């Protein structure tokens, strides 16, 4: 599967560079959704890494492949055609520029909102659009299944205490398709700089091209071996808060490769804008205090969009944080 790379037409010499590392990590927890112990492994993985891989998820490979094929067709189309679907303010096609505050990466992408189903993106075909919607529904279901298993294991009340935030019709969830063309100046460019995802949970699926790295508790960066038939789950900042820091919002990044294109599709499960993001009362032990000041998802997003990709966004809401 080849995606044609586009020439670099702007000077992005100031792009963030990543310290090269090829520390392939073989200890990523694997959650088999058919295993009765899945929920225990999920909770352990969320505490230790904020990251795990899901197998036996029930999403057929052909279902994933048909969306990937449409995405490849889109990214292979001429640049002026793709630009018709941009800029990503807030949704649409973006090239190298990530977010509103000067971050750049060796990546082009499509960013979709998943609650405004009527949103029309010029340049995106009907079939592409319908595959996106079906794929997003499947990802929402998968995210909810994982969150329900989490709630069961933590014994924090009704099974849907977390998943209902994503099932809510006002859930503020996003979907993103990233294309990382082969990078001619290997290691000179970062594909997608290091960051944590602000939402509750993210589901990453990529082709068989490496590049994704996660940061371990001690700050070591390790490479995630790609697996096109599995999904990778990230704990986001909001889930860290909802669990009062028991779960870890995983810092991650993507390094650009020199030979192969990486295509990734990520579902970001977020709550409704008005939802208070505060530790679940049912998780708190007697006398335990919240580590965070109270905020809504709207407050958090507003603040997050003023930050750079690598900033510690959650830090601003920690009780120990002091303003200068």
Ligand X SMILES: O=C(O)CCC(=O)C(=O)O
Ligand Y SMILES: C=C1C[C@]23C[C@@]1(O)CC[C@H]2[C@@]12CC[C@H](O)[C@@](C)(C(=O)O1)[C@H]2[C@@H]3C(=O)O
Residues in contact with Fe ion by CB under 5 A are 197
DSSP for 212-251, please give it: EEEE-TTS-EEEPPP-TTSEEEEE-HHHHHHTTTSS-PPP
The residue from 176, 179, 251, 313 that contacts ligand X (CB under 6 A) is: 176
Give me the phi and psi of 313, to 5 degrees please. Answer: -65, -40
Which residue is it, tokens 């492994």? Answer: 41
Identify the three-state secondary structure at position 24. strand
Cis before 207? omega within 30 = no
Distance of CA 125 to CAs 27, 73, 128, 134, Å?
Answer: 40, 10, 5, 14
- Of Fe ion, ligand X, ligand Y, none, which one sits near residue 178, judging by CB under 5 to 8 A according to partner kind? ligand X
- Of ligand X, Fe ion, ligand Y, none, which one sits near residue 154, judging by CB under 5 to 8 A according to partner kind? none
Q: Which is nearer to Fe ion, 154 or 255 (CB)?
A: 255
- Is 66 catalytic? The answer is no
Q: Which is nearer to ligand Y, 67 or 265 (CB)?
A: 265
Binding mask 184-203 for ligand Y (x = CB under 6 A): -----------x-xx-----
Total residues contacting ligand Y by CB under 6 A comes to 16
250 is an interface residue for ligand X by CB under 6 A: no
Candidates 205, 253, 262, 313; catalytic one? 262
Token digits for 83?
């630009």
We find the least distance from the C-beta atom of residue 60 to Fe ion, in angstroms, to be 25
We find the least distance from the C-beta atom of residue 285 to ligand X, in angstroms, to be 32
295 near 277, Cβ under 8 Å? yes
174 is an interface residue for ligand Y by CB under 6 A: yes
Residues of this chain, 71-100, that bind ligand Y according to CB under 6 A: 98-99
Token digits for 315?
């830090």
The residue from 266, 277, 304, 314 that contacts ligand X (CB under 6 A) is: 266
18-50: burial string, b at 16+ Cβ within 10 Å, e else: beeeeeebeebbebebeeeebbebbbebbeebb
- Of Fe ion, ligand Y, ligand X, none, which one sits near residue 239, judging by CB under 5 to 8 A according to partner kind? none
Give the catalytic positions in this structure: 262
């Amino acid at each position: 599967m080849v995606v044609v790379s586009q020439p670099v037409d702007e000077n992005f010499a100031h792009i963030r560079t990543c310290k090269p590392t090829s520390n392939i990590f073989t200890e990523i927890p694997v959650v088999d959704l058919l295993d009765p112990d899945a929920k225990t492994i999920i909770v352990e993985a969320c505490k230790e890494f904020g990251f795990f891989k899901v197998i036996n998820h029930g999403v057929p490979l052909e279902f994933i492949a048909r969306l990937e094929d449409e995405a490849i067709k889109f990214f292979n189309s001429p640049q002026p055609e793709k630009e018709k679907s941009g800029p990503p303010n807030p949704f649409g096609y973006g090239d190298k520029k990530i977010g509103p505050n000067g971050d750049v990466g060796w990546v082009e992408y499509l960013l979709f909102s998943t609650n405004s189903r009527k949103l029309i993106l010029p340049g995106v075909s009907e079939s592409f659009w319908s595959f996106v919607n079906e794929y997003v529904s499947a990802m929402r279901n998968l995210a909810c299944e994982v969150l329900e298993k989490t709630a069961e294991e933590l014994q924090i009340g009704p099974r849907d205490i977390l998943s209902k935030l994503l099932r809510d019709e006002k859930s503020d969830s996003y979907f993103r398709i990233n294309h990382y063309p082969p990078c001619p100046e290997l290691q000179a460019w970062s594909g997608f700089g290091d960051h944590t995802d602000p939402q509750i949970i993210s589901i990453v699926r990529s082709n068989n091209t490496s590049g994704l790295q996660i940061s371990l508790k001690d700050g070591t960066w390790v490479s995630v071996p790609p697996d096109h038939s599995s999904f990778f789950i990230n704990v986001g900042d909001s889930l860290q808060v909802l669990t009062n820091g028991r779960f870890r919002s995983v810092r991650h990044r993507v390094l650009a490769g020199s030979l192969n294109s990486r295509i990734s599709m990520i579902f970001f499960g977020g709550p409704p804008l008005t939802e208070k993001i505060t530790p679940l009362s049912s998780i708190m032990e007697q006398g335990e205090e919240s580590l965070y000041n109270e905020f809504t998802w709207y407050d958090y997003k507003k603040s997050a969009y003023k930050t750079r990709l690598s900033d510690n966004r959650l830090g601003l809401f920690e009780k120990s944080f002091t303003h200068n």
